[in-house]
Amino acid sequence: MMATQFAPNRYDSQREKLAAYFDGTAQKAWIDLTSTAKVSGIRATVRAGRDAMRAQLLGWLPEDLRRRDVLDAGCGTGSLSVEAACRGAVVTAIDVAQGLVDIAAERAPSYLGHGRIQWRVGDMLDPALGSFDHVVAMDSLIHYTLPDMVWALSALTRRCTGSILFTFAPYTPLLGAMHTVGKVFPRSDRSPAIVPIAESQLRAALSQFEGWEVRRSGRISSGFYKSHAMELVKI
């Protein structure tokens, strides 16, 4: 209990740092990464990894999403939101970065079939967003510590009736060392650190969620992109 007692304050502080970063120095790079623009070899591996992760998460959602409410928690430039809406979902797509949401709205096709998207800027945990059949948080919790990630997921369970799909940065000795060095030698212009999480510790924490269980799980590794997805299902 003590580990998560002050999670709201830590979560809010980190969210503000992420908003400043993705609306600042990272905006142009992120827009290029999520487009067809030519990028460096390193960023190309990240783009390929993100494409594969998005496909995996969409594959865990029902093929027919008509009359389903989906929260895209950390929508970025909107690719997942658009694909879910094209399958009939009513999508609430929210991100902390105004600039990325603006690009997402510009890129979205005018016709989405039975689906529709409401673009929002703000906190994915805002209770005013309502409740959802499915929540997807792709690479939007990777900058939070284990206690804060678990706290955020717990908050999402109170607003979801079906499944929560999310990703985390899987702990490896290399990632752990990079994270430690980054904390010892911080730079003001460095992006918010990706926090490596041990899968066993995360599973142990999630096992305490009453009425929920982890089902599917899958890791994507593409060059510099390494991310692990889990599916939390209400039972």
3-state SS record for 105-138: HHHCCCCCCCCEEEEEECCCCCHHHCCEEEEEEC
Using alpha carbons, list the distances in angstroms from residue 220 to 48, 62, 117.
Answer: 10, 21, 27
The answer to whether 53 touches 7, Cβ cutoff 8 Å, is no
| Res. 176: pLDDT tops 60 | no
- CA 7 from centre of chain: 18
92 vs 218: CA distance, rounded Å: 25
Show the CA angle centred on residue 182, arms to residues 220 and 21, nearest 5°. 75
**What pLDDT score was predicted for residue 190?**
52
Asked if 27 contacts 99 with a C-beta cutoff of 8 angstroms, the reply is yes
Is residue 3 predicted with pLDDT exceeding 50?
no
Task: Tell me the backbone φ, ψ of residue 73, rounded to 5 degrees.
Answer: -90, 95
Task: Select the highest-mean-pLDDT range: 37-41, 131-135, 189-193.
Answer: 131-135
Mean pLDDT over the full length of the chain: 89
CATH fold of 2-234, please? Rossmann fold (3.40.50)
Question: How far are the Cα atoms of 39, 59, 205 from residue 95, in angstroms, in the given order?
Answer: 24, 22, 26
The per-residue pLDDT for range 75-127, each reduced to its tens digit, is 999 999 999 999 999 999 999 999 999 999 999 999 999 999 999 999 999 99
DSSP per position, 191-230? PPPP-EE-HHHHHHHHTTSTTEEEEEEEEEEETTEEEEEE
The whole-model pTM stands at: 0.89
How would residue 189 be classed by pLDDT, with cut points 50, 70 and 90? very low
List the domain boundaries for the chain: 2-234
